[in-house]
Structure 1
Amino acid sequence: MPDEKLRRRELVMLSGSLAASIVFGALGVVWGIAASSSVILFDGVYSLFGTTLTGVSILAGHAAGRAPTKDFPYGLAVMVPIAVLIQGAGLLGALVYAATDAVSTLVDGGSEVSALGIGLYGVVTLLGAMAVTWWLSRSAAISDLVGAEAQQWRASTVLSAAIVAGSAAALLLTWWGVHTAARYVDPVLVLLIVVLLVKVPLVMVRNALREILEGAPPAALRATIDETIRAARQRFDLPEPTVRATKTGGRVYLDVVFVVGHGIWDIDGEDEVRRAIIEQFRDDRYELWANIELTTDADIAQ
């Protein structure tokens, strides 16, 4: 079950990501305007946009950690996938806008930019994005929100690497005297980055929708659940149960129904099975809400 220590660690990671996004975003916007570079400006806006999404993640994490209330008896764990969905949809929208602007620039004949300035910016942001990605990835497993932030910074690393590669290509074209082709490097870089990054928000949206719609949990979590139930079956000599499970943010909902023979089990025995399954589930990342039933009526298990 997630404890207060993990929640504080999550807040530290998200706050650190927020601070880094503000710094790199401001750098990108100022540098992009000064260099008249669409790709640098996009990188800066992308980072600043990420600060808003990180803020949403922090609020979602706070809401999800609150105890259930009369109005929300199941708590607000669903705020976590909702926040991830907003992040994914927002990033996807930013990529669509960037691609549209890049195509417009290509149609207009490209743009004059300083390839050296773009390259220098790319190196600075590449090193920074790699450092933040490494820092977040070390703790990505503690929550979906930190994992989403790590994915976002991983995407920023790819973006910066593409900027460095593109600026190198522009310098070579200029050195070879192909100045006309060099004018198209900036918008082409933007389109390349969109292609490289588009998978990240699509995966975020897909996974978030899966949780909101109460789909089956990820494979690793399903394996943990299967092992937990297998251990209980062996201990109490129980038949194969009907199992339903889903994950919502940091919470796992587990419904297990065993169909048993008449006159064998009583309430105390059912409680013992329930307690064994709850104690066997060993994953500190999640809070387990389990409903374990033993019944003689097979129709109830359907």
Structure 2
Amino acid sequence: MLAHYFNPRTEQGVLRLSILVTIVLGGFGIAFGLLASSSAIIFDGIYDLTDAGMTFLALLVSKLIAASSTGNTVKSKLTEHFTMGFWHLEPIVLGFNGTLLLGSALYALVNAVDSFLDGGRRLELNYALIFTLISLVCTLSMALFASKANQSIRSELLALDAKSWFISTALSIAWFVAFTFGMIIEGTYLDWMVPYIDPAVLAIVCLVVIPLPISNIRQAVADILLVTPADLKKHVDEVAQKVVERYGFIAYRAYVARVGRGRQIELYFIVPMSWPAKRLEEWDELRDQISEAIGEDTPDRWLTIVFTTDLEWAE
């Protein structure tokens, strides 16, 4: 049962395991952060719990997309209201996830600077090091696991999740080095530096983390705004132009958009009015040929091909 629920060969199985580990690690982070009087570790715990919430949303979206793409969606009010699928929810979740993580890092950076200017805070380094070691093992293991699983699954949600685990690994390494240094200098002539270790390392980590979600936010905004992907548009134009030249159509109009993992393509071919009538089976056969030429006939492709003599229907 557990092996099926956390199946590493499925997007949903990997996301479920990621949520479980993140929640446990986040709880440990907040608890050890309070014991160690470390705002950096508390931030790590809050960061993990926030990421777990976003991963849970990603899991829900993944289940909706998978259900609608395979045609096994249970008839309900929800699916009746989303007859064109749930692909558009993916960039919304990715964008919200990236924005929330970016906001958390900015807020933590402000707190770190404020704490540094206020004289810092002395840590319980034993508790800090114990948690850091636990965190390092867990985050690195999950980062490698999610990254390897996504080599065959190829999911943007898993790619973002793996990136989040690598970010957490970087945080753990930075804190381990900093806290080890603090333990070494504690009680020496450099002891005055110990209170500044926590805010300093938190500020440095935030500066590293802040740029990372920006690319995901940018891509999510482009998907939400239905910005046409240049490479896909070029490919569709090449296929459509060859069809026009081969069959003698007057012109074509192509509309292409990327929405999360979904690819939406609408093709309109302008047919000469003087053409003799064709059977519907012949038009369908031509559609099949165009579809094959475009390629990537997966459940995540929404392809519409229309033949009309009226240009207004295509514009």
With the shorter chain as reference, the TM-score category is 0.7 to 0.9
Q: Percent identity?
A: 25
How far has the Cα of 1:286 moved from its partner? 5.2
Q: In structure 2, list runs of 5 or more residues that go unmatched.
A: 1-6
CA–CA separation in structure 2 for the residues paired with 1:28 and 1:137: 23
Counterpart residue type for residue 36 of structure 2: A
CA–CA separation in structure 2 for the residues paired with 1:184 and 1:13: 38
TM-score by length of 1: 0.82
Match for residue 255 of structure 2 among 222, 244, 248: 244
CA–CA separation in structure 1 for the residues paired with 2:179 and 2:35: 16
C-alpha change, 1:200 and 1:264, in structure 2 (3 Å) is: farther
CA–CA separation in structure 2 for the residues paired with 1:153 and 1:42: 15
Match for residue 201 of structure 1 among 194, 198, 213: 213
Give yes or no for contact 1:278–1:288 (8 Å, CA) kept in 2.
Answer: no
Give yes or no for contact 1:232–1:273 (8 Å, CA) kept in 2.
Answer: no
C-alpha change, 1:277 and 1:16, in structure 2 (3 Å) is: farther
Counterpart residue type for residue 256 of structure 1: L
Q: Secondary structure at the match of 1:56?
A: helix
C-alpha change, 1:193 and 1:296, in structure 2 (3 Å) is: same
Q: Secondary structure at the match of 1:183?
A: helix
Match for residue 171 of structure 2 among 159, 165, 168: 159
CA–CA separation in structure 2 for the residues paired with 1:285 and 1:32: 47
Q: Secondary structure at the match of 1:200?
A: coil
Give yes or no for contact 1:228–1:277 (8 Å, CA) kept in 2.
Answer: no
How far has the Cα of 1:16 moved from its partner? 0.6
Q: Secondary structure at the match of 1:256?
A: strand
Q: Secondary structure at the match of 2:104?
A: helix
Equivalent residues, number: 293
CA–CA separation in structure 1 for the residues paired with 2:139 and 2:274: 63
Which residue in the other structure is 1:127 paired with? 137
Which residue in the other structure is 2:42 paired with? 41
Give yes or no for contact 1:250–1:286 (8 Å, CA) kept in 2.
Answer: no
CA–CA separation in structure 2 for the residues paired with 1:20 and 1:285: 32
Give yes or no for contact 1:250–1:285 (8 Å, CA) kept in 2.
Answer: no
Which residue in the other structure is 2:4 paired with? none
Q: In structure 1, list runs of 5 or more residues that go unmatched.
A: 1-5
How far has the Cα of 1:290 moved from its partner? 1.0
How far has the Cα of 1:121 moved from its partner? 2.8
Match for residue 278 of structure 1 among 291, 299, 304: 291
C-alpha change, 1:216 and 1:164, in structure 2 (3 Å) is: farther
CA–CA separation in structure 1 for the residues paired with 2:294 and 2:168: 36
How far has the Cα of 1:164 moved from its partner? 2.0
2:33 corresponds to 1:32: yes
Counterpart residue type for residue 291 of structure 2: I
2:292 corresponds to 1:257: no
CA–CA separation in structure 1 for the residues paired with 2:145 and 2:88: 26
Q: Secondary structure at the match of 2:213?
A: helix
Which residue in the other structure is 1:113 paired with? 123
Counterpart residue type for residue 290 of structure 1: L
How far has the Cα of 1:201 moved from its partner? 2.6
2:75 corresponds to 1:75: no
How far has the Cα of 1:33 moved from its partner? 1.1
Give yes or no for contact 1:53–1:87 (8 Å, CA) kept in 2.
Answer: yes
Counterpart residue type for residue 306 of structure 2: E
Q: Secondary structure at the match of 2:121?
A: coil
Give yes or no for contact 2:106–2:210 (8 Å, CA) kept in 1.
Answer: no
Which residue in the other structure is 2:195 paired with? 183
Counterpart residue type for residue 40 of structure 1: I
Q: Secondary structure at the match of 1:199?
A: coil
TM-score by length of 2: 0.79
C-alpha change, 1:234 and 1:182, in structure 2 (3 Å) is: same
| Structure 1 ranges of 4+ moved more than 6 A | none
C-alpha change, 1:99 and 1:233, in structure 2 (3 Å) is: same
CA–CA separation in structure 2 for the residues paired with 1:277 and 1:133: 41
CA–CA separation in structure 2 for the residues paired with 1:43 and 1:284: 42
How far has the Cα of 1:161 moved from its partner? 1.9
Which residue in the other structure is 2:3 paired with? none
How far has the Cα of 1:191 moved from its partner? 1.0
How far has the Cα of 1:71 moved from its partner? 2.8
How far has the Cα of 1:277 moved from its partner? 3.2
Counterpart residue type for residue 158 of structure 1: A
C-alpha change, 1:229 and 1:134, in structure 2 (3 Å) is: farther
Deviations for 1:223-278, whole angstroms, at most 9, x for unmatched residues? Answer: 5x755664676578368854321122332101223456564685655433321233
2:35 corresponds to 1:51: no
C-alpha change, 1:146 and 1:285, in structure 2 (3 Å) is: farther
